[in-house]
């Protein structure tokens, strides 16, 4: 079985995207010298999860139409309080694509769009969700 070990975010404006993810999710970024690439730390090394990277987008930006066709590999981020993070996404300049809804027996999930047009999921574990 193969597991994801890294993710990558593409951005028209990397500095704007960095500010968004620092504000909305508390992630940290490290610029790789001489490259248009930043490493992303999403949490402590002793905590389950994966880290990623951010790069300058190559090609046209995605459609701003939330109903448009998604092309990519959507990632979902686990959070402790979904409502708080949905507010943080909006406050950081992002938007909510699909509001909070239950995944019975698993928890709550919502989808958001970052400042670069990328869609990602946010989930909160709650086995009592219905």
Q: Output the pLDDT for position 114.
A: 96
User: Does 43 map to a domain?
Assistant: yes
pTM of the model: 0.91
CATH code of the domain in which 52 resides: 3.10.180.10
* Sign, CA torsion 38/81/48/101: negative
User: Does 38 map to a domain?
Assistant: yes
User: Does 66 map to a domain?
Assistant: no
Tokens for 40, please give them.
Answer: 């992303």
Q: Output the pLDDT for position 51.
A: 97
83: enclosing H helix or E strand:
helix 82-91
Residue 18: which domain range?
Answer: 6-59+72-125
Beta carbons of 84 and 41 less than 8 angstroms apart = no
Query: How many domains does the chain contain in total?
Result: 1
pLDDT tens by residue, the chain, 130 residues: 888 899 999 999 999 999 999 999 999 999 999 999 999 999 999 999 999 999 999 888 777 665 666 677 899 999 999 999 999 999 999 999 999 999 999 999 999 999 999 999 999 999 999 9
């Amino acid at each position: 079985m193969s597991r994801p070990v890294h993710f990558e975010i593409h951005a028209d404006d990397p500095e704007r995207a960095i500010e968004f993810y620092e504000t909305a999710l508390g992630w940290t970024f490290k610029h790789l010298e001489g490259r248009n690439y930043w490493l992303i730390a999403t949490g402590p090394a002793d905590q389950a999860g994966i880290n990623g990277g951010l790069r300058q987008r190559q090609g046209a930006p995605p459609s701003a139409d939330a109903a448009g066709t998604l092309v990519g590999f959507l990632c979902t981020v686990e959070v402790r309080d979904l409502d708080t993070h949905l507010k943080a996404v909006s406050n950081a300049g992002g938007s909510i694509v699909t509001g909070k809804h239950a995944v019975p027996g698993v928890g709550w999930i919502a989808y958001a769009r970052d400042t670069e047009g990328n869609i990602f999921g946010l989930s909160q574990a709650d086995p009592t969700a219905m």
